[in-house]
Amino acid sequence: MAKLYFYYASMNAGKSTTLLQANFNYHERGMRTMLWTAAIDDRSGPRGEGHAIESRIGLHAGACRFTADTDILAKVQAVHAVEPLSCVLVDEAQFLTAEQVWQCADIADRVGIPVLCYGLRTDFRGELFSGSAVLLGIADTLVELKAVCHCGRKASMNLRVDAEGRAVAEGAQTEIGGNDRYVALCRRHFSEALGR
């Protein structure tokens, strides 16, 4: 029976690396996969250019890009009807809409293809992303990937920083960036940085 998985973590925990390793494992066994990532994250280049999924350690792969309007279920079914898929892998899953998360559940439940979603649990304020909230609620399997705070404890929070490295407490929930904009911290150091 196919399942819906949610692998979640803070920044720098290796979510994309783990996704790409899983993809490699399927391909090594002659199985076909379909990769997805959020169109909003265009750090690897505009649509159709560069590698859609790229890890900090240099692994990369092409992927379909979803927006809030993308019917992931319909697109997966169309591909699966022509050439059967063994797995669907979704990077930046925090940006899925609630409806798209349910589509991923339908891919597992009705189409019979495992769906592995990877993403952030919370934003820079410590609040759940909507896609992550639904995944935490309905995924068959939840797996927390670990990152490390500068103090050596588990980093579970994502601190947004400005160009001078100062903590940012206000702003839009989504602002794309890497190590230049976010620091993974334990809850204690996250709270201290925000003056809580």
Helix or strand run (H / E) with residue 188: helix 187-193
**Strand ranges, E, within the chain:** 4-9, 33-38, 53-54, 60-61, 64-66, 87-90, 115-120, 141-144, 147-148, 154-155, 157-161, 167-168, 182-185
Number of domains observed in the structure of the chain = 1
125 found inside a domain:
yes
Work out the pLDDT band at 45, boundaries 50, 70, 90: very low
10 found inside a domain:
yes
Work out the pLDDT band at 50, boundaries 50, 70, 90: very low
Read off the pLDDT of each residue in 1-28 and give the average, rounded to a whole number.
Answer: 93
155 found inside a domain:
no
- The predicted model scores a pTM of 0.89
The strand pairing partners of 103, in sequence order, are none
pLDDT at 43 over 60: no
CATH number, domain containing residue 77: 3.40.50.300
| Distance, CA of 21 to CA of 26 (rounded, Å) | 9
16 found inside a domain:
yes
Task: Give pLDDT, residue 30.
Answer: 96
139 found inside a domain:
yes
Three-state DSSP class for residue 122:
strand
Q: In which domain, by residue range, is 68 found?
A: 4-146
pLDDT > 90: percent of the chain = 66
pLDDT at 63 over 70: yes
Quick: pLDDT tens for 142-187.
Answer: 999 999 999 999 999 988 888 777 877 776 666 665 656 788 999 9
CB 74 within 8 A of CB 33: no
Read off the pLDDT of each residue in 114-128 and give the average, rounded to a whole number.
Answer: 94
The strand pairing partners of 141, in sequence order, are 5
Task: Give pLDDT, residue 168.
Answer: 74
- CA of 28: how far to CAs of 25, 53, 54, 89, 126, in Å? 5, 19, 19, 16, 38
pLDDT at 85 over 60: yes
> Which residues are catalytically annotated?
92
| Distance, CA of 186 to CA of 3 (rounded, Å) | 30
Task: Give pLDDT, residue 16.
Answer: 85
pLDDT at 42 over 60: no
Read off the pLDDT of each residue in 52-61 and give the average, rounded to a whole number.
Answer: 70
Joined together, the tokens standing for residue 98 give 């609630």
178 found inside a domain:
no
| Distance, CA of 91 to CA of 160 (rounded, Å) | 20
Task: Give pLDDT, residue 172.
Answer: 66
Mean pLDDT score of the chain, rounded to an integer?
Answer: 88
Q: Say how many residues make up the chain.
A: 196
132 found inside a domain:
yes
